[in-house]
Structures are given as structure tokens and as C-alpha cells.
């Protein structure tokens, strides 16, 4: 009913019935129609990028993250800046805000560790978006890879290549994405990185990189600071069951899992002592 009223609220008495609306024979079809109308207004590549990333995210995405992630996709930026080259090569903030307005209550604003983030308010939207924008394993892996690289800070303060409007001259531009430290100055933890990074590394099958992340003292300390030692141990167990990790990496994982499990109680009270405890316990 809410979907129907959303479509009909701007109709005038003399308007013909929208042919797309006639496809809405059930809830999922109405959602598909909504996605098509968003594509007509905001552009297919932009809508596909945003909705795919929101759908695969673990705890939703913030305003800033969505703008950063779109700014890293050169195909989307080329479609946005079809007729001119901007002085700063980033996605305009207004584009996402306009689309957020058109989505209305269908995107729910949630608090991810006290930080406002956006995700689908109902599972049927998630299912429709996955069917339309993440149909193949390749699409899903690309979306997870994009998020994994972003939260790993791979693009921070980096000049990324692009071609001019004629497609002849190769240039570079900084996209000014947010830094992604494990902890900010003052000791506060980057909750968003801790919530999303390992999840997307695992989903994008970057197992070797994930081992290095899970075995870094910064990551372990941040995990204990936010009370996520159990999650950390679960990741160790999951990776040890993987067939794609070398035996050398597995030995390293076992050593770190043993150290973390033996010192869980102490490190929960003193997370800054991770390096000291690793030396003490050998």
C-alpha cells in the first residue's frame, strides 16, 4: 500500500496511467518499478552503484561513504560529468541526497555504533536489489571488493587515473576519500572500519590479505577496545578451515589465535598491551 501511495501522490487527475505502474502486480514487481523510475531520474549507473553497495554492506553505509565509493567508480563519474570536467573529481553531494529523498522511508537510517547509516527497511527491497544489481557471483564479488578496498584505505590520498572528455588524454585526480585508520587521534576506534573491513575481505575471497589484517596488532587492539574479541576468534576459525590459504599463513593464524584466546580476559581490560602480551606469551 505504501509503495502504491508513493507512486500516486504526484499524479494529477488528467495524467494517463504510467505504463510501468501496470507491471506492479505484487510487492516485488512494485519495487522493481521503483528501481526503474530511479534509474530514469538519476541514471542507471549511479543508481546501480549505490543500491548494490547498500545491499551488500554489513551494517549499511553513511552519507560520506556512499559519496566516497561513487567517486571511486570512474564509469559512474564519466556518466555524471558527461559534458564537462569538474575541478574536483568527486560525486556531487546533491546527487545522493536527491536519490535519498526519492527513496523516502524505503531506506532506513540506522545507528551503526552510534553513526547514522542507511540500509533497506524491509528484506523484500534487499531481495529485489540483489536480484537486479547483484545477480551474478561476479557482480557480488566486485561490490564486496570495492568495499573491502575502501575500508582498507587503499584509495586514501591516491591519484586515480581517468581520461578526458575526448577519451584521448590520460589524467590523474585525487578523489579525496576519508582516511581509514583503525584508531583516530585521541584513541577512539574507527567502528565503521571494524564493522565492514573483515566481512568484505572474506566475502571477496581476499583470504591472504585478511590473514595479514587479522594478525596485525592494530586490528587486534581495536577489536578488544570495542569488545569484539569473540568475533576476532571466529574469523580465525573460519580462515583455518579455508582451502585457499597456505600452510605458512595457517601456522601464523594458529599462533595468533592461541595468543588471543589465552589473553582474552587481560586484553579486554588492557587492550593497549597487545604487543606486550604477544611477546610475553611467545
**Any residues with CB less than 8 A from the CB of 176 and at least 6 apart, and which?**
71, 88, 90
The region of weakest confidence among 13-27, 79-93, 153-167, 246-260 is 13-27
- Comparing C-alpha atoms, which of 91, 92, 43 is closest to residue 70? 91
Say yes or no to pLDDT of 33 above 90: no
Predicted local distance difference test score (pLDDT) of residue 276: 87
User: Residue 87's pLDDT band (boundaries 50, 70, 90)?
Assistant: confident
Q: Provide the 3-class DSSP secondary structure of residue 170.
A: strand
pLDDT in tens, 113-149: 788 999 998 899 999 999 999 999 999 999 999 999 9
* DSSP calls for 212-274: HHHTSHHHHHHHHHTT-HHHHHHHHHHHHT-SSS-HHHHHHHHHHHHHHHHTHHHHHH-GGGH
Residue 10 has pLDDT above 70, yes or no: no
Confidence of residue 2 (pLDDT cuts 50, 70, 90): low
What whole-number distance in Å separates Cα of residue 199 and Cα of residue 205?
A: 10
Mean per-residue pLDDT for 22-45? 83
Is the model's pLDDT at 248 over the cut of 70? yes
Task: Please state whether the predicted TM-score (pTM) of the whole model is above 0.85.
Answer: yes
> Coil, strand, or helix at residue 152?
coil
Q: What is the pLDDT of residue 24?
A: 52
The grid coordinates of residue 60 equal: 549499511
Question: How far is residue 94's CA from residue 101's CA, in Å, rounded to a whole number?
Answer: 10
In percent, the amount of the chain with pLDDT more than 70 equals: 89
Q: Comparing 222 with 22, which gets the higher pLDDT?
A: 222
pLDDT at site 19: 57
pLDDT at residue number 25? 59
Find where cell 568495499 sits.
Answer: 147
Amino acid at each position: 500500500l505504501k509503495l502504491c501511495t508513493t507512486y500516486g501522490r504526484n499524479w494529477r487527475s488528467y495524467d494517463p496511467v504510467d505504463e510501468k505502474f501496470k507491471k506492479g502486480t505484487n510487492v516485488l514487481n512494485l519495487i522493481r518499478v521503483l528501481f526503474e523510475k530511479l534509474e530514469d531520474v538519476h541514471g542507471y549507473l549511479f543508481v546501480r552503484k549505490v543500491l548494490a553497495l547498500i545491499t551488500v554492506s554489513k551494517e549499511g553505509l553513511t552519507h560520506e561513504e556512499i559519496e566516497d565509493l561513487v567517486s571511486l567508480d570512474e564509469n559512474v563519474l564519466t556518466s555524471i560529468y558527461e559534458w564537462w570536467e569538474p575541478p574536483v573529481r568527486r560525486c556531487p553531494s546533491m546527487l545522493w541526497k536527491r536519490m535519498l529523498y526519492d527513496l523516502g522511508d524505503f531506506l532506513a537510517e540506522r545507528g551503526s555504533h552510534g553513526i547514522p547509516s542507511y540500509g533497506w527497511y524491509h528484506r523484500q527491497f534487499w531481495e529485489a536489489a540483489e536480484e537486479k544489481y547483484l545477480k551474478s557471483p561476479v557482480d557480488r564479488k566486485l561490490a564486496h571488493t570495492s568495499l573491502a578496498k575502501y575500508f582498507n584505505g587503499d584509495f586514501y590520498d591516491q591519484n586515480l587515473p581517468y581520461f578526458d572528455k575526448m577519451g584521448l588524454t590520460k589524467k590523474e585526480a585525487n578523489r579525496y576519500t576519508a582516511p581509514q585508520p583503525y584508531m583516530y587521534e585521541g584513541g577512539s576506534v574507527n567502528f565503521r572500519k571494524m564493522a565492514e573491513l573483515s566481512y568484505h575481505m572474506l566475502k571477496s575471497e581476499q583470504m591472504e590479505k585478511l590473514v595479514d589484517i587479522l594478525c596485525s596488532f592494530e586490528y587486534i587492539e581495536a577489536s578488544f577496545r570495542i569488545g569484539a574479541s569473540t568475533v576476532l576468534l571466529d574469523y580465525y576459525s573460519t580462515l583455518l578451515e579455508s582451502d585457499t590459504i597456505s600452510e605458512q599463513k595457517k601456522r601464523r593464524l594458529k599462533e595468533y589465535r592461541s595468543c588471543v584466546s589465552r589473553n582474552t580476559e587481560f586484553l579486554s581490560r588492557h587492550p593497549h598491551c597487545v604487543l606486550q602480551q604477544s611477546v610475553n606469551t611467545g
